[in-house]
Chain A
Amino acid sequence: MHGNGKPKTMSTNDHTASGAHYLNTDRGLWAWLTTHDHKRIGILYAIAVAIFFLLGGIFAMLVRTELAAPGETIMDQDQFNQTFTLHGVVMVFLVLIPAIPGILGNFVLPLQIGAKDVAFPRLNLASWYIFLVGAVMALCGWLIVGQVDTGWTFYTPYSSDSSNAVLWLTSAVFIAGFASIFTGLNFIVTVHKMRAPGMTWNRLPLFVWAIYATAIVQVLATPVIGITMILLFLERLLQIGIFDPALGGDPVLFQHFFWFYSHPAVYIMILPAMGIISELMGTFSRQQVSGYTFIALSSVAIAFLGFLVWGHHMFVSGQSAISSIIFSMLTFLIGIPTGIKVFNWVATMYKGSVWLQTPMLYALMFLFLFTIGGLTGIMVGVLAVDVHLHDTYFIVAHFHYVMMGGALIALIGGLHYWWPKITGRMYSERAGRIAALLVFVGFNLTFFTQFILGSRGMPRRYHDYAELLERFPEFAGLHLASTIGSFILAAGLFMILIYGLHSLVAGKPAPKNPWGAVTLEWTHATTPPGPHNFHRMPLVTRGPYDFHLADEVFGPHGGNGAAEELSTR
């Protein structure tokens, strides 16, 4: 499986962080804003997404605070409805969909396949600007045209006859969609055409496979949300009567359109996260990732199956029973390729050498939380059970376990893993562990309680539950616990932000290969990488997880720099 030729390019041995690299050449704001360098564009995404995540998080905290106690706590019904709408829209369209492809896909993918850049660098920069235009429109809409309170799902007819600001927000989503399409298109072409010599398909790191599968979904699904938003826009503007029943349209048709995109979109969020986990499990177990082919192809299988299950959001919408039955069956099929991944990740640790550094803590946390999220996904995919659970907090808990507990936790883990590569600095390992603990405890307290709330009957998108307490007295305590949990979670996330920023100015310079990793970005590029990534074009001679390579390139410690640091402290 692996060739055993010596690495041809040993450019790594002689460089230190003080050489010329992509951060210290071409300084200045203007150089950054007009850069075509995929690494810098990755950082531009990181900054934008972090800001939007902070905003989305603030909206979430407002929602939780309102729900902490029965009755009106800090805002009225309208404000509440607007807040959870903004929370959902920001988190989905401005955070999770662009996050991993935009930040880590951009930074890592070209490095991992040995390319100097993505195929279309200018388009890459343009994507970021398009994304920003969409994002700013979405966020500033309420200043200009007023608030939207439709929920992130924009169901008609509510959305076709409530506030006019819906027009504005749907345009914003439409524009942000283009950014996603262009990013996906760019990555597909990059993976096909820009691989270094010797980088065959079965030597691609699993992160690349994952981003590739994601890109396919982005390209195939996003145009559908585009046309849906156009139709919704025209529905409001001209009353074309496609979705609005008052004009002879059909509201359920809208739901089909919406979920035809939005279900695949959840795989746009989770597939790249799974790619990160594959990298982390391999490196921190110092073990070849188990079932390489299975993991690589299951990404593609998930991407494909993801297009066939949208109707599981509509079991009680009035769609025909036959459709519901078919959709339910297909939904379960997705559990199988996902299971293959999960089992293989665990198997990777078997007989490995498991090193519990912060990135690995997040990888394990991902396994824990995502398995819960995924299994509850199967639960709500069961027809009879979903009838009871649909549109309750059980669903809210399910999707936070997969989106926050899965995708975002993986992103945070990935950021810790590549942080030394990106910034040239180490963060504080101790702070990292404390924050991880806070996040883990806070997250479970926030969202596990919501499973119970939901299966006991608490509907979602409820501003108030005071009147329910008579028959459901337990709601009060559960909601309060959830709110407390969310504050612990927020504390953990803020801690990450703070020690991350702190490390930029005061962090120790990063060793060449702190984790003893063996993908090209660690073995063949400097830390941080030079402006053109590699001094010489890498020549790939073996599979992606052969950990001997680290010893060959970096000597006996395998470049295991962080370990040296730790043992001398």
Chain B
Amino acid sequence: MAHHASHSARHVQAHFVSSEQQFDAAKLGMWLFLVTEVLLFSGMFVTYTVYRVWHPEVFAHASELLDWRLGGLNTLVLLASSFTVALSIHFAQRNEKEKVVVLLLLTLLCAAAFMVVKYFEYSGKFAHGVFPGAAFAPHGESHGLEYAVYDVPYAAQFFSIYFVMTGIHGFHVLVGMGLFAWLVTRAVRGHFSSAYYTPIELTGLYWHLVDIIWIFLFPLLYLI
């Protein structure tokens, strides 16, 4: 028993015995939350798999409409941001406040870049009538693709699944941006130190998950 380990530290809540207990609890809680996130997405992965098994040709065909270059770019952007978060934790542990702030800002920037790319992808699709659900009516052409030929049964399902999955993922990116913005303001005010950097650590965990989910989404939707 670490009886009086930082018992009096400002950030330890009354019902915890020690700073370690509080940190462990928070971390376990975050892991459990991530488990629920994985399950949320797994529901969609199941839907994807079921429809892909039923209509393999349609899915392979329809995925041509997605631009793997933009998807790939976004993959790189997210990977880079995962790296910058990890570094920011590293520097928080060393009490290097300026670096923490800069790295968190970089992460925020990457997330924003991801959303910008997504915006262009989505608007490109909408412009050609590729909507989720009933409004699905592809037309026109761009970079050598004749959209109308994708107007086959179950292509609409592919794009519904595409929009739902990337939409919910994108929502998670937006939430992550909010969290990073909040972390930056706290870091600037000097809230974090080697003794206390739980929020960065937990947001980092969350962000890695968002990244990993994209790593699955990208090949499933864009490549195969």
Q: Do A and B bind each other?
A: yes
Q: Interface residues, chain A, CB within 8 Å of chain B?
A: 115-121, 123, 181, 185-186, 188-189, 192-194, 197, 219-220, 222-224, 226-228, 230-231, 234, 237-242, 247-250, 253, 257, 532, 537
Closest to A225 in B: B43
In the bound complex, CA of A320 to CA of B37 (Å): 30
The answer on a CB contact under 8 Å between B35 and A249 is no
Given A242-B47, A242-B160, CB of A224 within 8 Å of CB of B132:
no
The answer on a CB contact under 8 Å between A253 and B50 is yes
Could you write out 11 A-B pairs with CB less than 8 Å apart?
Answer: A116-B14, A185-B33, A188-B32, A193-B28, A223-B37, A231-B43, A234-B133, A240-B157, A241-B156, A253-B47, A257-B43
Within 8 Å CB of B161, what residues of A? Answer: 240, 242
Within 8 Å CB of A189, what residues of B? Answer: 25, 28-29, 32
In the bound complex, CA of A341 to CA of B29 (Å): 30
In the bound complex, CA of A537 to CA of B16 (Å): 12
Closest to A118 in B: B15
Q: Is the interface of A mostly helix, strand, loop or mixed?
A: helix
B164 within 8 A of A: yes
With A189-B25, A194-B21, A219-B32 known, 10 other A-B pairs at CB within 8 A are A186-B29, A188-B32, A194-B25, A226-B43, A228-B43, A230-B168, A238-B133, A241-B160, A247-B134, A537-B17
The answer on a CB contact under 8 Å between B15 and A116 is yes
Q: Interface residues, chain B, CB within 8 Å of chain A?
A: 1, 13-15, 17, 21, 24-25, 28-29, 32-33, 35-37, 39-44, 47, 50-51, 131-135, 153-154, 156-157, 160-161, 164, 168
Partner of B24, one of A118, A185, A193: A193
In the bound complex, CA of A231 to CA of B40 (Å): 11
Within 8 Å CB of A115, what residues of B? Answer: 15
Within 8 Å CB of A119, what residues of B? Answer: 25, 29
In the bound complex, CA of A417 to CA of B43 (Å): 41
Within 8 Å CB of B133, what residues of A? Answer: 234, 237-241, 247
Within 8 Å CB of B1, what residues of A? Answer: 197
Partner of A249, one of B17, B131, B132, B157: B157
In the bound complex, CA of A238 to CA of B131 (Å): 9
Within 8 Å CB of B164, what residues of A? Answer: 230-231, 234, 240
Within 8 Å CB of A238, what residues of B? Answer: 131-135, 160
Closest to A220 in B: B39
The answer on a CB contact under 8 Å between A223 and B15 is no
Within 8 Å CB of A219, what residues of B? Answer: 32, 35-36
For the complex formed, measure the closest distance between the CB of B7 and the CB atoms of chain A, giving whole angstroms. 13
In the bound complex, CA of A253 to CA of B28 (Å): 33
The answer on a CB contact under 8 Å between B160 and A240 is yes
The answer on a CB contact under 8 Å between B43 and A223 is yes
The answer on a CB contact under 8 Å between B28 and A242 is no
For the complex formed, measure the closest distance between the CB of B44 and the CB atoms of chain A, giving whole angstroms. 6
In the bound complex, CA of A247 to CA of B15 (Å): 54
In the bound complex, CA of A333 to CA of B199 (Å): 43
The answer on a CB contact under 8 Å between A240 and B132 is yes
Partner of B156, one of A120, A222, A230, A248: A248
The answer on a CB contact under 8 Å between A223 and B154 is no
Lowest 5 CB-CB distances: which A-B pairs, in order? A227-B43, A238-B133, A240-B160, A239-B134, A117-B15
Within 8 Å CB of A239, what residues of B? Answer: 133-134
In the bound complex, CA of A123 to CA of B164 (Å): 28
Within 8 Å CB of A120, what residues of B? Answer: 25, 29
The answer on a CB contact under 8 Å between B40 and A193 is no
For the complex formed, measure the closest distance between the CB of B125 and the CB atoms of chain A, giving whole angstroms. 14
Within 8 Å CB of A227, what residues of B? Answer: 40-41, 43-44
For the complex formed, measure the closest distance between the CB of B39 and the CB atoms of chain A, giving whole angstroms. 4
In the bound complex, CA of A185 to CA of B29 (Å): 6
In the bound complex, CA of A116 to CA of B17 (Å): 9
Within 8 Å CB of B43, what residues of A? Answer: 223-224, 226-228, 231, 257
In the bound complex, CA of A116 to CA of B133 (Å): 51
In the bound complex, CA of A117 to CA of B131 (Å): 49
The answer on a CB contact under 8 Å between A248 and B153 is yes
Within 8 Å CB of B13, what residues of A? Answer: 121
Within 8 Å CB of B36, what residues of A? Answer: 181, 185, 219-220, 222-223
Partner of A242, one of B21, B33, B134, B157: B157
Within 8 Å CB of B15, what residues of A? Answer: 115-118, 121, 194, 532
In the bound complex, CA of A230 to CA of B160 (Å): 13
Within 8 Å CB of A257, what residues of B? Answer: 43
For the complex formed, measure the closest distance between the CB of B185 and the CB atoms of chain A, giving whole angstroms. 20
Within 8 Å CB of B44, what residues of A? Answer: 227, 231
For the complex formed, measure the closest distance between the CB of A171 and the CB atoms of chain B, giving whole angstroms. 15
In the bound complex, CA of A248 to CA of B55 (Å): 11
In the bound complex, CA of A247 to CA of B134 (Å): 8
In the bound complex, CA of A227 to CA of B168 (Å): 10
Within 8 Å CB of B51, what residues of A? Answer: 242
Within 8 Å CB of A247, what residues of B? Answer: 133-134, 156
Given A116-B15, A220-B39, A224-B39, CB of A231 within 8 Å of CB of B47:
yes
In the bound complex, CA of A523 to CA of B35 (Å): 37
